[in-house]
């Protein structure tokens, strides 16, 4: 599972093995004996070698996923935004950091939207204004 997820993450960001190795080395600045190489990453993707705990941690941080996701224990697509907003973690939007006030206001907006959505989709009868249909395609009927 690890090898398939690593390959999917790398390809999903349109990175070659060489580009990923270079990016990891730039971001984590290992010493000369611990540089990542394209061949090393290729071996991980083919399941020939298993990376160390520290290498998996670096990959998870680089791709912004959990180590559990890389190991196949968790799905990446299941995030509870309310927990994320309330976690106290530094959040960004389009690479711009959000202040705690921004995070709180966005949480309130999403919470209000979701509660409003529940009310909008309930089985309550529509008002006369909501059910009014206008035939704007036929001008003779609009006189």
- How many other C-beta atoms lie within 10 A of the C-beta of residue 6? 20
- pLDDT > 90: percent of the chain: 36
Residue 135: pLDDT band with limits 50, 70, 90: low
Q: What is the pLDDT of residues 111-124, one digit of tens each?
A: 888 888 777 766 55
pLDDT at 124: 57
pLDDT, one tens digit per residue, over 50-76 is 999 999 999 999 998 889 888 888 665
CA–CA distances in Å: residue 89 to residues 100, 110, 111, 112: 9, 18, 19, 22
Question: What is the rounded average pLDDT of the residues 1-5?
Answer: 90
* Phi, psi angles (nearest 5°) of residue 76: -75, -30
C-alpha span between 49 and 83 (Å, rounded): 36
Domains and CATH numbers, the chain: 2-71 (1.10.260.40), 81-120 (no CATH)
Mean pLDDT of the chain: 81
Closest-CA residue to 71 (of 1, 6, 8): 1
Q: Residue 88: pLDDT above 50?
A: yes
Residues whose CB falls within 8 Å of the CB of residue 29, separated by 6 or more in sequence, listed in order: none
Highest mean pLDDT among 50-59, 95-104, 110-119, 127-136: 50-59
Which residue blocks in the chain are alpha helix, DSSP H? Answer: 2-12, 17-28, 38-46, 53-63, 67-71, 81-86, 100-120, 128-131
Q: Select the more confidently predicted residue: 76 or 107.
A: 107
Q: Provide the pLDDT for residue 4.
A: 92
Cβ count near 102 (within 10 Å)? 13
Q: What is d(CA 47, CA 45) in angstroms, rounded to the nearest whole number?
A: 5
Taken in order 94, 98, 101, 107, the sign of the CA dihedral is positive
């Amino acid at each position: 599972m690890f090898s398939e997820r690593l390959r999917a993450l790398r390809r999903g960001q349109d990175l070659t093995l060489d580009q990923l190795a270079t990016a990891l080395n730039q971001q984590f600045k290992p010493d000369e004996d611990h540089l990542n190489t394209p061949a090393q990453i290729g071996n991980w993707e083919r399941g020939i070698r298993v990376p160390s705990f520290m290498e998996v941690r670096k990959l998870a941080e680089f791709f912004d996923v959990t180590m559990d996701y890389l190991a196949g224990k968790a799905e990446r697509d299941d995030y509870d935004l309310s927990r994320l907003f309330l976690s106290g973690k530094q959040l960004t939007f389009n690479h711009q950091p959000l202040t705690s006030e921004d995070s709180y206001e966005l949480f309130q907006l999403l919470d209000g939207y979701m509660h409003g959505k529940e009310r909008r989709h309930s089985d309550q009868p529509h008002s006369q204004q909501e059910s009014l249909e206008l035939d704007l395609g036929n001008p003779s009927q609009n006189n």
